[in-house]
Amino acid sequence: MNSYALPTAPFDGVNIPSRVFEGFVTRQAWRLEGGGVTPLQLLQPLRDELKDDGFSLIFECADRKCGGFDFRFQTDVIDAPDMYVDLDDYRFAAAIQGDADAPSAAVSILISRSVASAYIQVIQISVDKSADINVAKGQEIIASTQGDGAIVSSGELGQELDVSGHVILSDLVFQTGSSNLGEGSFDSLASLAAYLRQNPTRQIALVGHTDAEGSLDGNIALSKRRATSVRLRLIEAHGVKGTQVSAQGVGFLAPVVSNLTELGRTANRRVEAVLISTK
C-alpha cells in the first residue's frame, strides 16, 4: 500500500491543493519518438479514454496556468531520463472514478515534450484493488516504454537556436558534484547534432551552469568540465565536428531561478547551447 497526493488545483503561491489517496499505486512513463505533436493533442484521446472507463475529470491545466516551475517541482514526477517536463510546455489532468466523496480510483496524467520526443506520465491509484494494469498487487512500479533511440531531425531545437540564440539541454543528467555525463542517448544531443550537420558553417558554445553552493572559481571550473563532457559526447557519439562546438562555464552567475531552495538549485544546474554564428 502506498499514498499519492493528487493535485486538484493550480499552485496557490505556497502549495498545490491536493487530495491524498491511499491504495495500490502504479507509476508509468512513455517516450514517443518524433516531434510535431503537442501535449494537448496527446492528452485529448487519453481524456476520452478515461471518460469511457467511468472517470470524471476534476482538474486540468497547462504549464504556467498550473503554476509553471512550482507546480512541476511540487508534484510527483518520475526521474529523468524516463520522464521529461518542459516548464513552458506541459499539460496536466486529474480524474477520479466512482463516488466523489469516496472514489474507488484516481489517476493523473502529465504530458510534455522535448525537441525530439513526447513524454507521457500516468500515475494511477486504486483504493480497494490493484490498478487496472498488469502488475503485482500492491507494488509501486516505474515502467518505461522507450523508443529505438533513432536520431531525428533538428526540428524545434534548431528553430529555438535560430530565433532565441540559445536553448537549455534540459534532459542531460549529471551525478551530483560530478562532470560525468550520464549514460544513454539524450534527445537534445541527437537533435543538436542533427542541426549542426544540416548547418555545417554554424558554431555553438556549450555553456555550463551550476547552483550557488561552493566558491565561484570552483563552480566555474565544474561547469566548464560539464560543458566539455557534453562537447566530447557530441563529437565521439554523434560525429559532430570539433570546430563547430566549444565549451565554456560560468558557474552560478546566470541562474534561471533563485538558489534559495533545493528545487531552484536543481533547475540552475544545466548546460545550454548558445549559437555564436553571426550569419
CATH for 267: 3.30.1330.60
In a domain, 169, yes or no: yes
User: What was the pLDDT predicted at 263?
Assistant: 62
The rounded distance, in Å, linking the Cα atoms of 278 and 202 is 9
Looking at the structure, do residues 20 and 97 belong to the same domain, yes or no?
A: yes
The rounded distance, in Å, linking the Cα atoms of 5 and 13 is 17
Looking at the structure, do residues 136 and 161 belong to the same domain, yes or no?
A: no
Instruction: Work out how many domains the chain is built from and give that number.
Output: 2
Q: Apex CA 270: angle with CA 277 and CA 253, to 5°? A: 80
In a domain, 55, yes or no: yes
Looking at the structure, do residues 7 and 139 belong to the same domain, yes or no?
A: yes
Looking at the structure, do residues 133 and 178 belong to the same domain, yes or no?
A: no
Q: Which domain holds residue 207?
A: 155-275
Query: Which among 77, 111, 145 is the end of a domain?
Result: 145
The closest of 207, 199, 180 to 241, measured between CA atoms, is 199
Mean pLDDT confidence for 117-138: 63
Looking at the structure, do residues 185 and 209 belong to the same domain, yes or no?
A: yes
- Predicted confidence (pLDDT) per residue in 197-232, tens digit: 999 999 999 999 998 999 999 999 999 999 999 999
- Predicted confidence (pLDDT) per residue in 91-124, tens digit: 999 999 988 888 989 999 999 988 778 889 999 9
Cβ atoms of 147 and 32 within 8 Å: the answer is yes
Looking at the structure, do residues 159 and 134 belong to the same domain, yes or no?
A: no
In a domain, 150, yes or no: no
Task: Cell numbers for 173, please give them.
Answer: 543528467
Radius of gyration of the chain (CA): 20
In the chain, beta strands by DSSP E: 2-7, 18-33, 55-62, 90-98, 103-113, 117-126, 142-145, 166-168, 204-209, 245-249, 270-275
Helix axes 187-198, 155-164, angle to 10 degrees: 70
